[in-house]
Structure formats: structure tokens, C-alpha cells
Amino acid sequence: MKFADRLDSFGAEIFAALNEKKLACEAKGQKIYNFSVGTPDFPVPQHIRDAVSEAAQDPENWKYSLRDMPELLQAVCDYFKKRYDVDGITPDMVMSCYGTQEGCGHLALTLLNKGDIILLPDPCYPVFQASALLAEANPYYYPLTKDNGFLPDVNSIPEDVAKKAKAIIVSLPANPVGSIAREGIYDEIIAWAKKYDVLVIHDNAYSDIIFDGNIGQSFLKVKGALDVGVEFFSLSKSFNVTGARISFLIGRKDVVSAVRKLRSQIDFGMFIPIQKAAIAALTGPDDSVKAQKMEYQARRDAICGGARKIGWNIPDAKGSMFVWAPVPEGHGTSMDFCMELLEKTGVLCTPGSSFGPSGEGYIRIALVSNVTVINEALKSIEDSGILK
């Protein structure tokens, strides 16, 4: 059978090769330190687990949900006011998604026609590119450079490209580069978007994982944001519910309504016990969220500071659950170094090349192990002599 040509746009070669090498190392009895996948290792707060358990006991909750529960939509509105001090969010500006990954795909299919231009950060979360390709749109990459603190510079986008663009994706704190919004950057993006009539899509997955006393915010708080944009807001990383796939698209009513229309043709709504879990997260205590942030910062300090002590100059990440580490000189491509690191030290990371063209020369390290394990991994790197 000949399958759809669009499948040819997606390859798994990098991850398949890494997994094959990982299995070979494990078969030899080597200990693996897995820093490759951004899955939190913290427990789900008890009140969220209880909400799922209680809701699952009601047989009515196992039927098609058909819609987002009104109390869920209101909980999102109230949370944005409480957590981000955002006014003006109403239930008709909110819809649930089965994770931001699914949400990006549905938004792209709703918004983009074949050949439309969408602006993507480079490096970026790979699903941004995948969603554009699913919609048969043309991605244009705007670089996130070291010299600019790995932040978007929309005014550097060529005017002829900006005039043709339909949307731009912005993500801060950023996966994989660990940058955070500086003062005034959203104002610049909003002004640029209004000038060129471009929809801003902000991915807000890591606003609760931000370091050194900084406070994560929402793009929607900035004046004018609701005129030009939408935001994906995820519970996955703050509340460790990655498998439940709880995310929301929030912002311009016309955009949310259009995506909701597309989604209605694909599924029958989010499972009610999962909706109850989301309500519990949004309305319950946030002590664990604040405690986790400090633990993530301790891990950041252990990895970056520890690496510098053994001769690997890794700058401190400012936010997200990732560290963006330069490949040491003389170790080839990011994929070459990841394979060498795994084979000689048991440390498994992700090559920067998998996040876009500008990712070459870096690897991504996920903050998914405690400080004790991190120190063991750094000792294995030091003992291997790989940095000498």
C-alpha cells in the first residue's frame, strides 16, 4: 500500500539510533543516566489523584462528554486572574486540548492552507514544525541566537516574509534553549503582529519552572495580546500530569471557536474524570508547584555548575526543565557527541539538531533526575576522560 506523502515529512532516525545505542549499552550492563525526555519525575499531587478516582466511580462520567464542562472553563478564567493577573478571559475564549501537541496540530489545520507561511523559532519544540507540515504550510525559521540570549527578534524577520506570514509561534520560557521573556519583549511582538496582521501563538508550558527569583507570566497579560493572539496553557509540567494530556487554548474568540469547530469533527470531548482532575489542579493548593520550582533550580545548579567544574562550560538555563549545553570542541556534531557520551559515560541526552537547523552544536539535557543522580552522571563524565 502507498501511504500519504505527508508521512515522508516525518523521520525518527535520530531517536531510533539513540534508542538502539541505549539498548546496546544496557545489554552490556552499563548504567544509563537518562536525561533525554522531558517527563517530570515528581508525584501527581494527591488532591488531583483523588479527583480522578472519585469521578471515575460515577458511571455517568464514562459517557461521551461532548463539551468542556462550564466549571472547567470558569476554573481556567479564574486561574488566569489569580495566577497571572489577566483580566478579560471569558469561557468562550477557552477550550481544552489533549495536550499542547494535539492542540498545535488542530490549530495548524484550522488556520493554515497549503503554502501559507508560519514563522517558527529555531531551535524549537519539534511539534511546531510537525503541525505546520501536517497543514502543508511552509515553515520559515527565525533564529534564536546566543548573542540575543536565545530570544525572538521579530524585527529581524525580512519584511517580505512578514507581509506573507499568517502566524508566528513564540515560546517562553523556551524549550530547548531555556530562555525567558525580558522586559518589553511581548510589547514588541504585539506591535509587530499588528503591523503585519500576523496571529501570535504563544506556548506557555513552563511558566512555573523559572529560576533566580524571576516570575513566569502569561503573554495574554500584556496590553493588546488578546487582539492578536492565543496561548497554549498546559498543566503537564506544573502538576506532573503529562500522561493525562491536559492543555488549553486561550485567547481570541474567533480563533478558539474555529479550532473548536474542527475538533468537534474529530472527537467527543475530554474524558470527564480528566476534566475533574484539571478543575482540582486549577482550584487547589499550589504548594507543590512552588516547591518543585526550587528543586528544578537545584538540579539546574547541579548540572550547569557541576559541568563547569569538570571543564564543560554550560551556561545556566533561566527557565524550563531543560539545559542547552554546547558540544565541547572537537566532538563532532550534536548527534556524534550524544552517541559518544552515551557509549563512554551512560549519559543519554538529545542532540540539538533534532530541534531545528540552529540546534546543531548543542545538546539538550532534561532536569528529570535528582541532584544525587546528576552528581553521579557528572562523575561518570569526568572519569571517562571524554572532556580532556
Identify whether residues 116 and 187 lie together within a single domain: yes
Residue 13 pLDDT level (bands cut at 50, 70, 90): low
Name, in order, each residue with C-beta under 8 angstroms of 20's C-beta and a sequence gap of 6 or more: none
User: Which amino acid is present at 178?
Assistant: G
CATH code, domain with 366: 3.90.1150.10
Identify whether residues 14 and 64 lie together within a single domain: no
Identify whether residues 81 and 129 lie together within a single domain: yes
User: 283, 308, 331: which is the final residue of a domain?
Assistant: 283
Mean pLDDT rounded to a whole number for the chain: 95
Contact of 141 with 155, CB cutoff 8 Å: no
Residue 15 has pLDDT above 80, yes or no: no
Identify whether residues 115 and 173 lie together within a single domain: yes
- Write out pLDDT tens, residues 103-154: 999 999 999 999 999 999 999 999 999 999 999 999 999 999 999 999 999 9
Residue 173: asked if its preceding bond is cis (omega within 30°), the reply is: yes
Cα dihedral sign, 336-339-345-349 = positive
Number of domains in the chain: 2
Identify whether residues 148 and 216 lie together within a single domain: yes
Identify whether residues 149 and 100 lie together within a single domain: yes
**Entry field: residues in the chain:** 388
Identify whether residues 51 and 163 lie together within a single domain: yes
pTM value is: 0.95
Identify whether residues 271 and 323 lie together within a single domain: no
Residue 29: all three cell numbers together: 550492563
Contact of 45 with 288, CB cutoff 8 Å: yes
Domain that holds residue 291: 5-43+287-384
Contact of 185 with 152, CB cutoff 8 Å: yes
Identify whether residues 336 and 363 lie together within a single domain: yes
